[in-house]
Structure 1
Amino acid sequence: MTTQHSGDRLRAQMQQQRISNTDLAAKLDTKLQNINNWFSRGIPAGKMMAVARALGVRYEWLETGEGAAKATDPTEHPDAEPMKLWDDETPMEDDEVAVPFLREVELAAGSGRFAIEESQTATLRFGKRSLRNNGVQYEHARCVTVRGNSMLPILRDGATVGVNTGRTSFADIVDGDLYVINHNGQLRVKQLYRLPNGIRLRSFNREEHPDEDYTYREMQDENMVILGHVFWWGMYAR
């Protein structure tokens, strides 16, 4: 039976997983009173993705109650849709869009200087409904391939993330959410946290990759900009 709103589903999942209000508040870096308010009022839209990730449930299910609570494949994002087999010759369906990949490109052979550009060949298909459910306009959707072990165990080397390039403002950063950064021509996927005079970049694998703090001036000096907010991830490899 589907519960009435996201607060009911939140309470049920916490009871099922034996997560206390205090534990969830600490995990989300929010006040305990906020958790209690969400039970009765529902989860705010700006916190829905963070709560879904913390509980390991699908964003769409938490928001609407539709479908299964959890993804079939635990390596996928909680809101990932079932994979369909296709290749470049498969006709595009009416409710699909081909989302291009971003890649690092060396500006001149051996120069060591890189820039970010869209791939002219690599794309990944997304359902328009899935993008709408995540608040992403079709023209703002891009994909990025994760490299290295800094985001283990959540994002393995070669994982793909979907990026909403319509969310790039430092002022609108949701602490703890994943973002894609252009760091002097290098693509980086990190958790972001706002600081009084800058931002903090955090990896899931913090033992090998400690936090990086940058002032706004340092971000300018290192040509650091936010490319977008991560709304999906999976183990698709191109």
Structure 2
Amino acid sequence: MARPSVSKTPFAERLTSVRMHVDGRDRKAFAEDLGINAETLGGYERGDSLPDQWFLLDYKKRFSVNLDWLLTGEGEMFHPAYGRPHTLPMGASPAMIRLPIYGDVHAAAGLSSIPVGELADGVMSFDPRFLRDQGAVPEKCSVIWAHGDSMMPTIPDGSALIVDRSQTEVKNGSIMVIGVGDDLLVKRVRRRLDGLIDLISDNSAYAPETLGPASLQQLRVVGRVVYFCRTP
């Protein structure tokens, strides 16, 4: 039985994590796809040696790896482009899950009323392991769109929102998609001691809104936003 790989440095550990997230295969098969020797890759993933800039740029190009995260551990592992169907990583597992896209459903990151459709009109492929790492149930996720600027800079206008519909309990501090009457909103939520719920925008130009008893009767929690990405 092969000995487990041991990463001697945080960088080496992050490099190994990329391979496991985007493919999950053994090191030899992954190295062949990269066009390098498996022992060379092993040296990088163990921390025995350091890759050059061309290797790092290849990871960024192939897998949309965030080099700031890879080098320092700060930020997210992947750039938002990781979620786009046309930028799926090389050698991706056939077990990629296809999330339904509801193109005519928009969560307002603002105050406007948005019509809600019913039928999916596309799909977006994701690695289910990546979604589980975000705390999501992959089979319960779907994609809708954010409109408006009230959640900027966290969520830009036009972002695709990955929503886990299994998470419908209001959880303080979470970004959630909620329906209030005819409005569909994406906001941070906070349950108050008096039982009311505050809807908080990340854009300081928008004051928090409080849902009173009448609005709470119309409240419908669609799910928690577990990830978002920009698309062309």
Residues 122-180 of structure 1: per-residue CA shift (max 9 Å, x gap): 2211111112222322321011211011111121110111111111023xx1x222001
TM-score (norm 1): 0.55
Question: Does 1:162 find its partner at 2:167?
Answer: no
Equivalent residues of 1:167, 1:229 under 8 A apart = yes
1:70 aligned partner: 75
1:205 aligned partner: 203
Distance of 1:232 and 1:168 partners within structure 2: 16
1:178 aligned partner: 175
Distance of 2:10 and 2:87 partners within structure 1: 33
Distance of 2:74 and 2:98 partners within structure 1: 27
Equivalent residues of 1:191, 1:203 under 8 A apart = yes
Amino acid in the other structure paired with 2:182: G
Q: Please give the secondary structure, in 2, of the residue aligned with 1:131.
A: helix
Where do 1:1-238 residues align within 5 Å? 1-2=9-10, 69-71=74-76, 76=80, 81=82, 83=84, 85=86, 94-102=94-102, 103-104=104-105, 116-170=116-170, 173=171, 175-195=172-192, 196-207=194-205, 209-220=206-217, 223-236=218-231
**CA-CA distance at 1:2 after TM superposition:** 3.0
Which structure's CA Rg is the greater one?
Answer: 2
Amino acid in the other structure paired with 1:201: L
Amino acid in the other structure paired with 1:126: F
Q: Which runs of 5+ in 2 are unaligned?
A: 1-8, 12-65, 107-112
What's the C-alpha RMSD, in Å, of the aligned pairs? 3.4
TM-score (norm 2): 0.56
Equivalent residues of 2:145, 2:160 under 8 A apart = yes
**CA-CA distance at 1:115 after TM superposition:** 5.7
Distance of 2:83 and 2:101 partners within structure 1: 20
1:17 aligned partner: none
Equivalent residues of 1:181, 1:224 under 8 A apart = yes
Distance of 1:2 and 1:82 partners within structure 2: 25
Distance of 1:141 and 1:230 partners within structure 2: 9
Q: Which runs of 5+ in 1 are unaligned?
A: 4-57, 106-112
Alignment size in residue pairs: 156
Q: Identity of aligned pairs, percent?
A: 21
